[in-house]
Structure formats: structure tokens, C-alpha cells
């Protein structure tokens, strides 16, 4: 029998040199998706694609005991300004190696070999799950629907991340 919904507090960070929060369709999608899944938006911001600005925001969120997960959209491509994997991966205590692999596998069904240009990654830091996603709304939908939603659902079996985020081991 399924247990009750465990509402997590999730922060959303958009990395962009060209968008504002008012134009952030990918961030808007993630906020809507997490809310529809019964979670709470803990914080949201947008920052330019700068390694140290990204680290400062994510480090502050990791230190907060009330944030269980962080969804980052943007900065995972190959342009000279894309730096999210380099900025965030050094903060991980543990990597979720299968996340990027599974994301690219699912994405391949949608966009073909262009998926190799995504450097989506995930990891844990201070019992906080961190997911770094491409900046397109389609990629955010792929990641949320195909992977993240179920892993942030305490009822998903055979396993999910919730017990690692809430301390209910």
C-alpha cells in the first residue's frame, strides 16, 4: 500500500546570459511540475553563466537544512560560456552517474544523436539532491517526466531518493 506523499522543498536555479526570470520558460515549467507533484518551491533565482556565481548560490542552498533538492537548468552545453557541470560537480559529495546516462538515453529517443551535446549531471551534497539539466524546456520535461519526478516520489518502487533527502533511513 502506498505511503502518503512526502512534500520536498525544492529550489530552482536558471543559468542564462540572455534570459530574465520573466522569460524563463524552463524554470517556469520546473516550478509548475514540482508543485503539481506535491512539492514546495523553496527558492528560485536566475544567474549569469559564471562558475563562481553558480557555486555561491548552490552552496548557500546546500547549507540550508530546509532544501531537499535543487533543479538547475542551463549551462550544460558546449559553448564557451556553458560551465554548469564544472561549477557544480566539485560540490558533490557523491555523483549520480546513471542520471546523465539515462537522460541521454531517453533524450536520444526524442532528438537523436544531438543528445550527446548535453552534459546533464546529478549528485548529492550535504543530503541535497542536485540535478543539472539543459536549458531547453523540452529537456527539462524529459528529465522531470523520465527520471526526477519518480526519484523524488516516496512511493516509487523499488527505490527513490526521498529517504536520503529527509533522513528517514
Domain boundaries, the chain: 9-166
Q: What is the pLDDT of residue 1?
A: 42
Taking the C-alpha atoms of residue 43 and residue 62, their distance in angstroms, rounded to an integer, is: 12
The answer, yes or no, to whether residue 168 has pLDDT greater than 80, is no
CA pseudo-torsion sign 114, 57, 38, 23: negative
Asked if residues 130 and 91 have their Cβ atoms less than 8 Å apart, the reply is yes
Q: 82 pLDDT exceeds 80?
A: yes
| Homologous superfamily of the 9-166 domain (CATH) | MoaB/Mog-like domain (3.40.980.10)
Report the alpha-carbon distance of residue 12 to residue 146 in Å, rounded: 18
pLDDT of residue 25 exceeding 50: yes
Task: Quote the DSSP letter at residue 125.
Answer: E
Q: What is the C-alpha separation between 44 and 31, in angstroms, rounded? A: 9
Compute the mean pLDDT over every residue in the chain, rounded to the nearest whole number: 95
Amino acid at each position: 500500500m502506498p505511503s502518503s506523499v512526502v512534500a520536498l522543498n525544492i529550489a530552482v536555479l536558471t543559468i542564462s546570459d540572455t534570459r530574465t526570470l520573466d522569460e524563463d520558460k524552463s524554470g517556469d515549467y520546473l516550478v509548475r511540475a514540482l508543485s503539481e507533484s506535491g512539492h514546495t518551491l523553496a527558492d528560485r533565482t536566475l544567474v549569469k553563466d559564471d562558475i563562481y556565481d553558480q557555486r555561491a548560490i548552490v552552496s548557500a542552498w546546500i547549507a540550508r537544512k530546509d532544501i531537499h533538492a535543487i533543479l538547475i537548468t542551463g549551462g550544460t552545453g558546449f559553448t564557451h560560456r556553458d560551465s554548469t557541470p564544472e561549477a557544480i560537480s566539485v560540490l558533490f559529495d557523491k555523483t549520480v552517474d546513471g542520471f546523465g546516462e539515462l537522460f541521454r538515453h531517453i533524450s536520444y529517443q526524442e532528438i537523436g544523436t544531438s543528445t550527446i551535446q548535453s552534459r546533464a549531471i546529478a549528485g548529492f551534497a550535504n543530503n541535497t539532491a542536485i540535478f543539472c539539466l539543459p536549458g531547453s524546456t523540452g529537456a527539462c520535461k524529459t528529465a522531470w517526466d523520465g527520471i526526477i519526478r519518480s526519484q523524488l516520489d516516496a512511493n516509487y518502487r523499488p527505490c527513490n531518493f526521498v529517504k536520503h533527502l529527509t533522513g528517514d533511513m
